[in-house]
Amino acid sequence: MKMIAMDGSNISFFKEGLRLDGRRADEFRPLKIEVGVLARADGSCYVEMGGNKVIAAVYGPREVHPRHLQEATRAIVRYRYNMASFSVEERKRPGPDRRSYELSKVSREALEPVIFTSYYPRSVIDVFVEVLQADAGTRTAGINAASVALADAGIPMKSMISACAAGKVADTIVLDPMKEEDNFGQADMPIAMTPTGQITLLQMDGHLTKDEFQRAMELAIKGCRDIYEIQRKSLIEKYNQLGSELAVVQEAEVL
């Protein structure tokens, strides 16, 4: 059995210019998006981003309970991020912890700027994100899923939000770090942004020089824009399919 140092010093992160999973430094992991996977939610989305498997559900706008939380001029947005006990190799203790509270807060703040909350005073929009399987980058996968679920629910928004991370591994800036790169890398920098370039989330863990930060930002921004195209395509495909099904039903009624 190969022993791994705490700093990952004896791990070879690159082989013939490629990463452990065969990607180039500027490639993100395979991304799969399914829209409308939950019948009882107003909007929902399932995302596979590498080894991450995340499901998001949106409910609302609906009445706020308890009522003292109501805002007279806008809707409030509640975001609940949770990792299932079985989502990691070593079983996680059920229920929220400090990390889930933090990720719920920053994820809500990443999405809230694009939602037209003023359209729904005294109401609430609830977003639930459940991580079924974790493989580094769960906050960005969750934000991507939640953004699509909000659109699926018909919540008016200025634009979609897309999220991706860049990192530093073996002194190389890479896009969308996988688990080993995240655990033993030198830096991790998740961002979320609109297609027009408005950044709504920027965090960093680790140390980057000015030039490394600039390169990481360039990679992450390109990753977000590529992810946006996949999000957009998944929504178009769903509603094209619904349109086709409706046309078939209408034709059958005429006959």
Share of the chain above pLDDT 90, in %: 80
Please give the CATH superfamily to which domain 19-254 belongs: GHMP Kinase, N-terminal domain (3.30.230.70)
> Which residue matches tokens 């824009």?
225
Cα distance between residue 21 and residue 24, in whole Å: 9
Q: pLDDT grade, residue 76 (50/70/90)? A: very high
Residues 28/227, Cβ–Cβ less than 8 Å = yes
Q: pLDDT grade, residue 144 (50/70/90)? A: very high
Q: pLDDT grade, residue 4 (50/70/90)? A: very low
158 has a pLDDT exceeding 90: yes
Residue 6: the pLDDT is: 40
Domain ranges of the chain: 19-254
50 has a pLDDT exceeding 60: yes
Cα distance between residue 147 and residue 180, in whole Å: 27
Q: Is residue 252 classed exposed, middle or buried when 0-12, 13-18 and 19+ CB atoms within 10 A define those classes?
A: exposed
Determine the 3-state secondary structure of 236 from DSSP.
helix
> DSSP assignment, residue 95?
S
> DSSP assignment, residue 170?
T
120 has a pLDDT exceeding 90: yes
Between residues 97 and 155, which one has the greater pLDDT?
155
Tokens of 7: 């700093």
Give tens-digit pLDDT for 198-252.
999 999 999 999 999 999 999 999 999 999 999 999 999 998 987 777 767 676 6
Calculate the average pLDDT of the chain.
92
